[in-house]
Amino acid sequence: MNYDVIIIGSGPGGYVCAIKAAQLGLKVAVIEKRPTFGGTCLNIGCIPSKALLHASEVYAHASHGMDSLGVEISKPKLNLEKMMGHKDATVKSNVEGVAYLFKKNKIDSFIGLGKVLGEGKVSVTGDDGKTQELEAKNVVIATGSDVAGIPGVEVAMDEKVIVSSTGAIALEKVPEHLVVVGGGVIGLEMGSVWARLGAKVTVVEYLDAILGGMDRDVAKQFQRILVKQGMEFKLGAKVTGVEKSGKGAKVTHEPVKGGDAETIEADVVLIATGRMPYTEGLGLEDAGVVLDERGRVRTDNHYHTNVPGVYAIGDVIAGPMLAHKAEDEGVAVAEIMAGQAGHVNYGVIPGVVYTQPEVASVGKTEEELKADGIKYKAGKFPFSANGRARAMQASDGFVKFLADAETDRVLGVHIVGFGAGEMIHEAAVLMEFGGSSEDLGRTCHAHPTMSEAVREAALATFAKPLHI
């Protein structure tokens, strides 16, 4: 069979690329090894975790967040099976949504393991072992990433006691003690879910701060909030062993700076120490596709690999492992393959941690600006001085602006607070248009809204905030 484009992988990168390519008039096929479309994000990642984050937050709110608002209710009862049912139904409707979009856009799909055979040739092997060959002018590798495990430590994940994010969204009961290895995004999101449902949660993190790579101010404030919520942290602690012990597991860690090892007992251990590009069984070596030193498919600025007509996007190439980065690359590569000028602005890719409160960020952190020797000015505004936040008892956190000291062009915005993941897009649009803190500070904001804190932080950057 002959196609203009064959995409291997139907995660946010692959399926969005397929839709865009079809919209641009190309004949498209997608190869997917799972029985459902949507990749890690829709099946076992972003979507199910958000369903659990929402449901667990409702439970936590009902447990201890309502009395102070004058709403007295009896202690809520957790029905974990039903909560998991909500998660499964959410996944089902999302993956079916992708199937519907494929049909609507006349995209062919093949369920099976895709393999790149070289220029313009791909094979797909189904569950029945049968292999068929397909031909296409262009091939897009969008195979995503997989759990990386702990570097240098052998861990046997059974997804029941020692789990990755896949097991952490499907536990059958609330663990008494959950130990999370890695204080990154997955560890804090999934740690939050189980802490809200009643687990004692201990996060063991190698670095001396959680959310490495995020603005330090934000990470510090966020950690304080999580400690108030009951989470425990062991920072600067390197996990050197995780093994099953009785019905649970033991986690051994030692101070990064040197010192004695300690052991923590847990019912469940979540390994959240990063992800790695997924290229297994793709036949890239035989096809001559070059990988970089970290196992990622090497591409040029137009997502082209070294093999003519073979492109790659998403987690399997360099850059942040984020669904929306993959989606934007999917659109860009579809445009490029259709002869248009596809482009992604990597300076304006928001990052969100979907905890309560949320953490959101776009552009440079203060640490990055310092390291780059860029002269900047900063403006900050706390939600405790925002009327709407007080009315909603959501006054934890702040907004921080970083702008060029001379031109006032906004270089980074960082928010920790209720709804940060929505508010950050006001900063993203501003930055996409090369806006200044004055541009935002002079934009009328509805009152009373949390977003007024964003405006106040902008005012604090080029002039003075009004309400503090």
Which residues are identified as catalytic? 447
Report the alpha-carbon distance of residue 414 to residue 405 in Å, rounded: 17
Answer for which of 186, 218, 219, 284 binds ligand NAI (CB under 6 A) is 186
Q: Does 274 bind ligand NAI (CB under 6 A)?
A: yes
Report the alpha-carbon distance of residue 41 to residue 59 in Å, rounded: 24
Report the alpha-carbon distance of residue 164 to residue 271 in Å, rounded: 5
Answer for which of 185, 218, 359, 460 binds ligand NAI (CB under 6 A) is 185
x/- string (CB under 6 A) for ligand NAI, residues 101-140? ----------------------------------------
Report the alpha-carbon distance of residue 140 to residue 13 in Å, rounded: 10
Answer for which of 21, 28, 322, 420 binds ligand NAI (CB under 6 A) is 322
- Dihedral (Cα; 60, 62, 68, 73), 10-degree rounding: -150
Q: Does 155 bind ligand NAI (CB under 6 A)?
A: no
Nearer to ligand NAI, 181 or 410 (CB): 181
Report the alpha-carbon distance of residue 355 to residue 360 in Å, rounded: 10
Q: Does 275 bind ligand NAI (CB under 6 A)?
A: yes
Closest CA to 34 of 108, 103, 116, 95: 95
Residue where the block lists tokens 């099953």 = 244
Separation of CA 196 from chain center? 20
SS3 47: helix
**Least gap, CB of 253 to ligand NAI (angstroms):** 7
Token output for 233: 């942290």
- Cα distances (angstroms) measured from residue 301 to each of 71, 333, 415: 55, 10, 30
x/- string (CB under 6 A) for ligand NAI, residues 435-454? --------------------
Answer for which of 13, 112, 184, 350 binds ligand NAI (CB under 6 A) is 184
Token output for 410: 């906004």
Report the alpha-carbon distance of residue 315 to residue 142 in Å, rounded: 8
Q: DSSP code of 158?
A: -
Q: Does 350 bind ligand NAI (CB under 6 A)?
A: no
Q: Does 170 bind ligand NAI (CB under 6 A)?
A: no
Query: Interface with ligand NAI by CB under 6 A: which range of 124-132, 175-183, 391-399, 430-438?
Result: 175-183
Nearer to ligand NAI, 189 or 426 (CB): 189
Q: Does 255 bind ligand NAI (CB under 6 A)?
A: no
**Least gap, CB of 164 to ligand NAI (angstroms):** 8
Query: Interface with ligand NAI by CB under 6 A: which range of 1-9, 85-93, 268-276, 381-389?
Result: 268-276
Q: Does 256 bind ligand NAI (CB under 6 A)?
A: no
Token output for 157: 């994940």
Size of the site for ligand NAI (CB under 6 A): 27
Q: Does 238 bind ligand NAI (CB under 6 A)?
A: yes
Q: Does 157 bind ligand NAI (CB under 6 A)?
A: no
Q: Which residues pair with 121 in a beta bridge?
A: 118, 135
- Dihedral (Cα; 231, 224, 386, 49), 10-degree rounding: -40
Burial class (CB in 10 A: 0-12, 13-18, 19+), 372: exposed
**Least gap, CB of 313 to ligand NAI (angstroms):** 15
Query: Interface with ligand NAI by CB under 6 A: which range of 304-312, 345-353, 368-376, 405-413?
Result: 345-353
Q: Alpha helix locations (H) across 338-419?
A: 366-372, 387-391
Token output for 408: 């006032």
x/- string (CB under 6 A) for ligand NAI, residues 203-222? -xxxx----x----------
Q: Does 354 bind ligand NAI (CB under 6 A)?
A: yes
* Contact predicate 334/17, CB 8 Å: yes
Report the alpha-carbon distance of residue 8 to residue 29 in Å, rounded: 9
Nearer to ligand NAI, 263 or 340 (CB): 263
Rg over CA atoms, the chain? 23
Nearer to ligand NAI, 37 or 354 (CB): 354
Nearer to ligand NAI, 155 or 287 (CB): 155
Residues of the shown chain interacting with ligand NAI in the complex, contacts defined by CB under 6 A = 150-151, 181-187, 189, 204-207, 212, 238-239, 272-275, 321-322, 351-354
